[in-house]
Amino acid sequence: MPIIKAIGFDLFNTLIIIEPDTLVQAMKKMIKSLRNDGFSIDESAYIKDYRLAASKFITEARKSGRETHNSIWISHVLKGYGLSIPPGDERINKAVELYFSAFYERVRLIPDTIETLTMLKKKYPLGLMSNFTHAPAAREILVRTGLAPYFDVILISGELGYRKPHSFVFEELARELGTGKENILFTGDDPEPDIYGSSKAGLYPVWFDYVRENNVPVIKGTIQSEMTEPEFEVPRASSWKEFINILENQLD
């Protein structure tokens, strides 16, 4: 068994859960913002086109490992309406910010997360690596939930330019934590980016499937990876108590 010197965490559905209606509310805010800035948008058509754009660009991002961004999706949709608006346009930026503002009041911690991080921080450097397109929103969520102070390293794909399972993000995590990849335990809920990605990069993965095992309703409309379970045997925890047991019993 490896000698664990640091621990890395995924964010969504590992440490926190977002209420299921979040994307619906976020979309309303985005459309209202664009309309207020003079864009004539049919709501049902825009929602469909935005989702298609998101699927297109996220699929490409998964293949290349390079992160995408919501502003690109909006620009792509507006181009289809005959409007040539670059992703960096202030009106698009405003719409993105308002879109993610819907997340802030709809976040809740998975049970025992704070207690577990408090315990682990006394012994290990802790890192966080999240696939999230808009890094400012992810960092705001970490502040609002009280999670930010627990992490020595916080990496968001929207800032790095690469997303899990690309090896670059795990190499960066190891570099900033200051230890070998083989000495980092990484836990997350999504088998492809979190388990396959960390294992391939040389970290020690633990599958945290609290959401799956407890049938927790999750945010609707997210594009999950196609891998529903790890393709190899991996330690599995459905609560933080089980996670601690794996850490103490299997790795000591």
215 — pLDDT class (breaks 50, 70, 90) = confident
Round the average pLDDT of the chain to a whole number and report it: 94
Residue 229, pLDDT score: 79
Q: What is the DSSP string of 177-210?
A: HTS-GGGEEEEES-IIIIIIHHHHHT-EEEEE-H
Residue 87, pLDDT score: 97
pLDDT tops 80 at residue 224? no
Range 1-18 average pLDDT: 93
Residue 221, pLDDT score: 52
At the second CATH level, the architecture of 6-20+106-250 is 3-Layer(aba) Sandwich (3.40)
CA–CA separation, 127 and 150 (whole Å): 9
Range 183-191 average pLDDT: 96
| Residue range 147-170, pLDDT digits in tens | 999 999 999 999 999 999 999 999
Q: Domain map of the chain by residue range?
A: 6-20+106-250, 22-104
Q: Report the percentage of the chain scoring pLDDT > 90.
A: 89
226 — pLDDT class (breaks 50, 70, 90) = low
Among 244, 123, 243, residue whose Cα is nearest residue 188: 243
CA–CA separation, 185 and 14 (whole Å): 14
Higher pLDDT: 219 or 141? It is 141
